[in-house]
Amino acid sequence: MISFAFYLAFLLIFVVFAVYAERKTAAFIQNRLGPMEVGPKGILQTVADLLKMLQKEDIRASAVDIIPYLLAPFIVFAAVFTGFAVLPVNADLSGSTITSGVFFLLAIVSLDVLGILMAGWASNNKYSLYGAMRSVAQIISYEVPLGLSVLCVIIISGTLDLHQMSVLQSGGILSWYIISHPVLIIPFFIFFISGLAESNRTPFDLPESESELIGGYHTEYSGFRWGIFMLSEYGMMLLLSILASILFFGGWNSPMEKIANGPIWSTFWLLSKSLLLIFVQMWVRWTLPRLRVDQLMSLSWKYLTPISIVMLFVCALWKLWLIG
């Protein structure tokens, strides 16, 4: 319960500064300065934007299907945020202790498709519906390699509980799974790519591609409800980054075995690992162009899924012969 509250507070603060970081990253990669006016170096720009967004009128087109239209953002956010329930914060705060931890996470997060579909359909707008359909096709496709790459880690660790998994990786940087079991390097990349697709980030932002679909499934949303969609997108980024740092990079364990292990330090390690991964996500976003729909599907079904199945097999052999 405490970890849930921690993540709720952290997510809200994180989103404000992640949007700022996103803009700055974009600006620096493109030889620009980014926001500079509000606050020192523009750090309060997102706060100002947030205040503006909260005051905006809640515009509803007259032809929308009103109940699903109003519910959709909250379903998306609830689905994403429920995933945080099983994430541990540090050695003492373990999150929800359900035995099917990471499986539950993947299951509940896949429900955000429902909200996206609801938003796209209820908006009664062809761009929204296009975006929603693309999003559903994309998320369902990329759930397969995502699940399979998580499964590779589960084979190695022998547990579904994320807290347990972090405990198993304690003891310095050498016992992190990606170092101690190099066979997991390829699953990590598959996980990362599928995670980008799951959170609708560039280069997989076809569902909301603003240049062709005017924002996709959230075209008709404005103000606070649109903000909820953004919140869920960034929440999804954070969720998958934290998950990746738990699965592959030792979770809340310090890179040094005996140093910096207190509860605050371990929270720091977990969050800094995931924030580093979020930086990589932003870096990818401002480097790679958007995929076409057919490229998207062929990447998932022709490349990532077969490779992750092979890696699943390799991980099973690794577990059988090398760990025993």
Partner 1 sequence: MIITVQIFLLMMVLAGVGIILFTRNIVHAAYALCLTLLGIAGVYVLVMSELLAVVQIMLYAGGVVILLAFGVMMTNRLRGEKVLSGSNNKWIGRIISVGVFAGLCYLISISPFQTTSVEKNEDQIAQIGVSFLTDHIVAFELIAFVLLVALVGAAYLAKNAADE
Partner 2 sequence: MSYLGNISQGIQTTWKGMMLSIQYFFQARKGRKKESVTEDNYFEKANGTFTVQYPHEQIPVPDHGRYQLHNEIDDCIVCDKCAKVCPVDCIDIEPVRSPEVFGQTSDGTPLRIHAAKFDIDMAKCCFCGLCTVVCPTECLTMTKEFDFSTNDILDHNFSFSKMTDQEIAEKKQEFEDYQADKLKAKPELPAIKKESDVMKKPAAKPVFKPRIPKKK
Q: Which span (96-104, 231-239, 279-287, 310-318) binds partner 2, by CB under 8 A?
A: 279-287
If one asks whether residue 310 binds partner 2 (CB under 8 A), the answer comes out as: no
- Residues of this chain that interact with partner 1 (CB under 8 A) are 65, 67-68, 98-100, 103-104, 106-108, 110-111, 113-114, 117-118, 121, 129, 133, 136, 140, 160
Sequential DSSP letters for 255-322:
SSSSSS-SHHHHHHHHHHHHHHHHHHHHHHHTTSPPPPHHHHHHIIIIIIHHHHHHHHHHHHHHIIII
Q: Toward partner 1, which CB reaches closer, 54 or 67?
A: 67
110 binds, among partner 2, partner 1, none (CB under 5 to 8 A by kind): partner 1
User: How far apart are the C-alpha atoms of 135 and 205, rounded to whole Å?
Assistant: 9
231 binds, among partner 1, partner 2, none (CB under 5 to 8 A by kind): none
Closest separation in Å from C-beta 184 to partner 2 = 17
> Which position among 6, 21, 36, 60 is part of the footprint of partner 2 (CB under 8 A)?
36
Sequential DSSP letters for 60-123:
--TTS-HHHHHHHHHHHHHHHHHGGGG---SSS------TTHHHHHHHHHTTHHHHHHHHHHHT
Ramachandran sector of residue 113 (left: φ over 0; alpha: ψ -120 to 50; beta: rest) = alpha
Closest separation in Å from C-beta 98 to partner 1 = 6
Closest separation in Å from C-beta 273 to partner 1 = 26
Closest separation in Å from C-beta 132 to partner 1 = 8
If one asks whether residue 97 binds partner 2 (CB under 8 A), the answer comes out as: no
Q: Toward partner 2, which CB reaches closer, 74 or 303?
A: 303
Q: Toward partner 2, which CB reaches closer, 26 or 167?
A: 26
Sign of CA dihedral 227, 60, 76, 303: negative
**Distance between alpha carbon 171 and the CA centroid of its chain, in Å?**
27
Which residues make up the interface to partner 2 (CB under 8 A)?
25, 27-33, 36, 283-284, 286-288, 302-303
